[in-house]
Structure 1
């Protein structure tokens, strides 16, 4: 719980002043309060005041500390959102007791001066209202990846040392909040066991430079769409150590929060795009995701318990939200067994569309990691996904290397306890056998789906593609008609209809019980 540090209610008087529309040119004022701040929105301006509180993880107990925090917030957040953060302005008091914004009197408070954005465009509200557009999700992944690439590398020790303290702090808050004791104990034990298992991996990633000065607080309410593009804002400023973490811990907040808003498909798109942008840098760290996402959900529950309530109804809403994050934390820390799914078929049968739609339905959360042969081939030639490759990039020996890479990456993903989905033509028996053997060696369930569609449908689809990684053309689709696929022992899926029809057929095929490879679970 916070410790209030506001003598004689001076800050409350400042809040009342800023909430009065008469002090903003008679423009209506909307006030947003959090556990650490109050934001006053009027016209095209937003003024953010640090609340005079002290928590175990932040201290705004004096005017000097609040001024330093305001300066630091502007400095940090201009890196992410220069179009939002203007600067820091004083709230002053005249000799007659009246307050002014940036007046000549005694400084009694400090405010962060921001350009107001449309608060209806924060991604939490967008996700709550409807499934976010894929283009926005891809942009979110890209802006996060760019922020990580630009973030300075920091020492790994403080981050790793903080993990058990974070777990202990959450456990203490949940007990004080009256959550279910058995669930608290189970989450605490699983989190500690997860850290013990993962500590060597996290330490190694620190050595590799993946511990950086990140945003630190990337829940969906801290991402806003401005001019059609996502902008990250409200990064952690009060304690650099809180934001100095593994980049996957930063990403885990966004992924977890989409899941919390019942948008697992959105979480899957963001995670898959981030991994595609960063090539295979993080495939060997996917085993850390359950712990990192669970910690983020637990932290969100903890923070919600500290949030000030306006009335009894608001308090009940805060409690429900805190409990939902706590429940999610308990769910994420115990992921189920992974599986391997391969989706084959000639160009234009809809493999990639199906893979994107199907990925989020494959446990564990937030869904299978999708490996696409078209993207893998482009990566091998160090070109963008949408750059066309010359004919020689499709020589048999190059294609064989692409399939070897897909098998290797799928094996790495499965070894991390995460599901993989491989999207490729798989026109040859040896290619199909090789991917199924990956599952057999990993001792996980395997499903192979082979999509089929008539030539006219396939030509129409490949001819209408824009900005896609595939280089297939109508001529290639026609040439593929001569392929001899041999004996196909995968499930044949009619993909000539709509994407939804194909998804339904594929889902039905995957829910039919199949044998686990010999030795699975041993």
Structure 2
């Protein structure tokens, strides 16, 4: 049985760095950032991160050599995603007079008093959590965030044989969470904590075959591991992922969906639900396009694991906030972290349906139809976060699937043959398969398509029933001049529709319309209000 080590004393190191940072700071300017495992000192244009001499079940910085290795790993793990930030590892050495100083680059390990990560300092106000606290995240930034996460995952080493180990790690996290909840009974009500732990164990057992299959499909990778909003910074208006997990290869070897779930969970908790949903959908859209639609159903099956992954991420934030509160110098910071711990704990319970409303847990298929230019895609994005469990409905578009099958970029124009009847049937059939698997995984879907044929509308109503989900059909109406004006003005979208397409659609008989009609001739907000009344 392993015992907790006795950590090194870092009192003089902290005092030296604190004085250095104070001297470089203006009056009343924050000069250090404390977390449960690190202290960051802000010195001019640079920042120095000191690994605390601490031990946790998931992290051990208790010895000098372990901290040196962790600093080296931090540089190695972050250079790919954030070369603008990470500089080098620096030693602290003892001078002849007994004081401390920065050592030369070739400082031997035996001569070091402690080790630091040297970074370029950045404006903390550009961190994503700060930006998200001020206003709704704009759609272009959400698309950039989705691309950032997908690029990071695609570049991450695949761990094909890591399925059993990753599953075992998840099981150990559940037990570590249970221990952490028990250690803070005033923070986490014991009865609710036991209920959450028991449900987490049960859900994880049911997910084992899916998780192992995802590993065999190449989805378990050596990822960032800690991709929440505080670890994303906007530099030159581009999101940059930093502060990857360096202290444990086991923790960073994870399902790419579990890695993404941290960002989604954080935004969901910060009341940025539309942003979380848009990033979720754009990530999967981009993945479909990058794979040219070659893996239909894989991502839809994986949605069964998403509530568990979101719950686990919320638990991590809850227990770290509770532990970090005791390291804060001010009562205000301590109280804020304790509030965070409670919020994330309650969020974790909601993700598993332990404190969710019926509307949140019901699985639903919503068909959004209408001629080109009627505002289908806009409405779908607006209502998606209100439908089903977090992070809201998966939006499936014929336009995106068509481009993926043709191996085209999303905004690249498809040839006329792509819109022939046979080609259209293929696209609809593939999306119906994706929808069926999503609904069976317990995840709600919005199907965004023209649905100009009565048979197409009837087919997806039947599909919802067969998959055990509720169905709602929305049909958007607008005058011809409005439709034509909108498609003419549209830019950077997957749809290829133009004025000629609209004219052709208007000449066709849409048959008996049994779906709810929405007047889409006015503003998008008017259509949204009507749709929400129906939902």
Which TM class, normalised by the smaller chain length? over 0.9
Q: Secondary structure at the match of 1:278?
A: helix
State the match for 1:19 in structure 2. Answer: 21
State the match for 2:8 in structure 1. Answer: 6
State the match for 2:190 in structure 1. Answer: 181
Tell me the distance in 1 between the aligned counterparts of 2:22 and 2:331: 24
State the match for 1:483 in structure 2. Answer: 508
State the match for 1:286 in structure 2. Answer: 303
State the match for 2:336 in structure 1. Answer: 317
Tell me the distance in 1 between the aligned counterparts of 2:430 and 2:117: 50
Instruction: Call closer, same or farther: CA 1:13–1:402 in 2, change over 3 Å.
Output: same
Give the superposition deviation at 1:27: 12
Structure 2 runs not aligned, ≥5 long = 289-295, 354-359
Tell me the distance in 2 between the aligned counterparts of 1:149 and 1:331: 31
State the match for 2:421 in structure 1. Answer: 396
Give the superposition deviation at 1:99: 2.4
State the match for 1:75 in structure 2. Answer: 76
Q: Secondary structure at the match of 1:19?
A: helix
Equivalences for 1:352-371 in 2 at 5 Å? Answer: 352-371=377-396
Give the superposition deviation at 1:481: 1.4
Query: Is contact 1:342-1:421 (8 Å) kept?
Result: yes
How many correspondences in the alignment?
Answer: 508
Tell me the distance in 2 between the aligned counterparts of 1:221 and 1:172: 25
State the match for 2:528 in structure 1. Answer: 503
More displaced 10-residue stretch of structure 1: 325-334 or 5-14: 5-14
**Normalization by structure 1: what TM-score?**
0.94
Tell me the distance in 2 between the aligned counterparts of 1:195 and 1:28: 46
Instruction: Call closer, same or farther: CA 1:8–1:289 in 2, change over 3 Å.
Output: closer
Q: Does 1:162 align with 2:169?
A: yes
State the match for 2:268 in structure 1. Answer: 259
Q: Does 1:327 align with 2:346?
A: yes
Structure 1 runs not aligned, ≥5 long = 511-522
Instruction: Call closer, same or farther: CA 1:103–1:397 in 2, change over 3 Å.
Output: closer
Instruction: Call closer, same or farther: CA 1:288–1:200 in 2, change over 3 Å.
Output: same
State the match for 2:376 in structure 1. Answer: 351
Q: Deviations over 1:253-300 (max 9, x none)?
A: 111111110111111011101111222441111000011110110011
Q: Secondary structure at the match of 1:262?
A: coil
Query: Is contact 1:21-1:29 (8 Å) kept?
Result: no
Tell me the distance in 2 between the aligned counterparts of 1:358 and 1:371: 13
State the match for 2:145 in structure 1. Answer: 140
Instruction: Call closer, same or farther: CA 1:450–1:43 in 2, change over 3 Å.
Output: same
More displaced 10-residue stretch of structure 1: 273-282 or 26-35: 26-35
Query: Is contact 1:249-1:293 (8 Å) kept?
Result: yes
Q: Which one of the candidate residues 232, 238, 255 is aligned to 1:246?
A: 255
Give the superposition deviation at 1:43: 2.8
Q: Does 1:206 align with 2:215?
A: yes
Give the superposition deviation at 1:317: 1.2
Tell me the distance in 1 between the aligned counterparts of 2:254 and 2:217: 13
Tell me the distance in 1 between the aligned counterparts of 2:284 and 2:232: 20
Query: Is contact 1:121-1:225 (8 Å) kept?
Result: yes
Give the superposition deviation at 1:29: 6.1
Tell me the distance in 2 between the aligned counterparts of 1:25 and 1:114: 20
Tell me the distance in 1 between the aligned counterparts of 2:274 and 2:10: 50
Give the superposition deviation at 1:57: 1.1
Compute the RMSD of aligned alpha carbons: 1.8
State the match for 2:120 in structure 1. Answer: 115
Give the superposition deviation at 1:103: 5.6
State the match for 1:513 in structure 2. Answer: none
Give the superposition deviation at 1:28: 6.2
Query: Is contact 2:22-2:31 (8 Å) kept?
Result: no
State the match for 1:440 in structure 2. Answer: 465
Instruction: Call closer, same or farther: CA 1:337–1:382 in 2, change over 3 Å.
Output: same
Instruction: Call closer, same or farther: CA 1:8–1:507 in 2, change over 3 Å.
Output: closer
Equivalences for 1:421-500 in 2 at 5 Å? Answer: 421-500=446-525
